[in-house]
Structure 1
Amino acid sequence: MPSSTFSGTVSSPKLSVAIDMGNPFLNLTVDAFLKIGAVGVTKSLAEDTFKAIDKGSLSKSSMEDALKNMCKEGVYWGSAAGIYVGTEYGIERIRGTRDWKNAMVAGAVTGAVISAASNKGKDKVLVDAITGGALATASKFLNDHYFY
């Protein structure tokens, strides 16, 4: 009986933008801000598109609100990524090693800084620092395949 096979690969398009700030710390921080900021913008765009479709109408004010939301989310997500990556890089340079402990401290610092900037109170800053440290550590373990 005749048979056929199909072979191939599927890959997503890749876009690389290099911005040289003259310093590895700044390069990593700005790169993280731009890449993850774009994720925040996309998230906001998807949410606002869904709202417009659900509502069934589109107005100038809703477009302006969507643009404001996109900018706000992009800056928020980008700032969080920039703080995290910059902190982790700094800790790595100070300790001279790359491991999960850098991620834990950087996550805790990022959670605390973002929470403090949001004026959520001392207790919330501590909770957000613990959460940031835990998420960053878990991400590092999963990314480095410690559980395989």
Structure 2
Amino acid sequence: MSSNLDPRSLLDELRNFDKGGFFDLGHPLLNRIVQGFVKAAGIGAAQAVSREAYFMAIEGAGLDNGLPPEVLPGANKNRLPGLRGETSSKSLEAMVKNTGKESLQWGLAAGMYSGLTYGLKEARGAHDWTNSAVAGAITGAALALTLDDSSHEQIVQCAITGAAISTAANVLSGMF
């Protein structure tokens, strides 16, 4: 018989995390939202930091060949604003601030998507591609609204893209 006081390794905790064990907020919907948020926020932070490290390495190694930033495809498009490759506290502060912002965006998107798919499953009584499409469309539209200058076309395009990606993921998850 096992109790909650038995010593567990970090590997055991991570295995339990995949089964949904870190949070118990009293309702499966809340648990899904928070777990989706936490997992995606971590991924968003790792993505933002690794992207900035890549660009700093490219600049430091001189692989940009002295070309202006507008010539390099995507070089400054996704850069963290405020970072100039310095080691100053201002540069570190900008990186932490922007990494936090991206983590929050990723987390909110994942939490929203997870909550919507669970809610639709409970409301419709079925878990199928339709739930994924609707949740993806709503999440995509919500993400488009976080852009600095979102237009009607961008919102519709993000909704369609979100629906397509989530539907494809749902359909392909049964194949592999």
Same fold by TM-score, threshold 0.5 exceeded?
A: yes
Q: For structure 1, which runs of at least 5 residues remain unmatched after alignment? A: 1-12
What does 1:38-53 align with in structure 2 at a 5 Å threshold? 38-53=42-57
Equivalent residue pairs, number: 134
Report the equivalent of 2:90.
Answer: 61
CA distance in 2, matches of 1:20, 1:73: 25
Partner of 2:71: none
Distance, in Å, in 2 between the alignment partners of 1:121 and 1:55 is 34
> What pairs up with 1:109-124 in 2 under 5 angstroms?
109-118=138-147, 120-124=150-154
Pick the aligned partner of 1:78 from 90, 95, 107.
107
Summarize deviations over 1:62-113 as a string: whole Å, max 9, x none.
Answer: 2111111210110011111011111111110111011111111110111112
Identity of aligned residues (%): 35
Whole-Å Cα distance in 2 between the matches of residues 53 and 61 of structure 1?
19
Q: Report the equivalent of 1:128.
A: 158
Among 18, 22, 26, which residue is 1:18 paired with?
A: 22
For 1:54 and 1:64, how far apart are their aligned partners in 2? 21
* TM-score, normalization by structure 2: 0.70
Q: Which has the higher helix share?
A: 1
Q: Which amino acid aligns with 1:91?
A: L
Work out the CA distance in 2 between the residues paired with 1:65 and 1:79.
Answer: 21
Contact 1:52 1:58 in 2 (8 A): no
Which sits farther off after the overlay, 46-55 or 105-114? Answer: 46-55
Cross-structure match for 1:100: 129
Task: Provide the rounded CA distance (Å) in 2 between the counterparts of 1:116 and 1:55.
Answer: 32
Structure 2 CA distance, aligned partners of 1:51 and 1:131? 27
1:120 match: secondary structure: coil
Q: Any idea what the Cα deviations from partners look like across 1:12-44, whole Å, max 9, x if unmatched?
A: x57225111111111000000000110000011
Counterparts of 1:26 and 1:115, CA distance in 2: 24
SS state at 1:133 partner: helix
Alpha-carbon RMSD: 1.8
User: Structure 2 unaligned runs (5+)?
Assistant: 1-10, 61-85
